[in-house]
Amino acid sequence: MTREEVLNKYGKSKDNLLYILHDIQDSNPRHYLTEEDLKEVAKWLELPYSYVHGVATFYSMFSLKPRGKYIIRVCESPTCHLMGASNIIIELVKSLGVGIGETTKDEIFTLELTSCIGVCGVAPAMMINSEVYGNLTSEKIAQIIDEKRRESK
C-alpha cells in the first residue's frame, strides 16, 4: 500500500494514528517511518507534527531509522533471560557483526531486543519479522542466519 492508500483507508479520526503508522511502516521494505511519512500523517489527521513524532517515538515497534530486510528481535524478558537469552544475544552480535539497534552493512539484518513476545514455553526465543523462533541454541542461530542470508539473495 502507498502512504496515500493507507491514509484514505483510515479516514481522519485521530484514534487511528497507531494503525496508520503501523500500516505505513509495514509497507516500507526497510520497516521504518520517514520524516515525510510523519509529516503527511500529521497533516491528514490535523495533528501537530511534534505530536506525531512524540507518539511514534513512544512505541518500541516503530522506527524512525531504516532497518534491514529482516528485523531480528531477541526477547530479553526474565524467562528468556533465565533460559539463556544473553548467550543468544552475544552469539547474534558476533555472527552479524553489529550491535543492538544496528543494521548490517548489507542491509539484510537489524538486531533489536524486545520485551516478552509471549512464547515463553520455548524460551529463549526471538522473532524475525513476524516469524517466531524458539528453543534457541548457538547452533540453531547460525543455521537460521545462514538460511535467511541465502533467502535474501
In this complex, which beta carbon is closest to other proteins, that of residue 106 or of residue 128?
128
How far is residue 12's CA from residue 45's CA, in Å, rounded to a whole number?
5
Distance in Å, CB of 123 to other proteins, minimum: 7
CB atoms within 10 A of CB 132: 14
DSSP annotation of 65 reads S
**Residue 114 binding other proteins, by CB under 8 A:** yes
Contact 133, 139 (CB under 8 A): no
**Residue 15 binding other proteins, by CB under 8 A:** yes
In this complex, which beta carbon is closest to other proteins, that of residue 8 or of residue 60?
60
**Residue 39 binding other proteins, by CB under 8 A:** yes
H/E segment holding residue 120: none
3 state SS of 76: coil
**Residue 7 binding other proteins, by CB under 8 A:** no
Q: How many residues bind other proteins, per CB under 8 A? A: 51
Q: Which of 81, 95, 98, 107 binds other proteins (CB under 8 A)?
A: 81
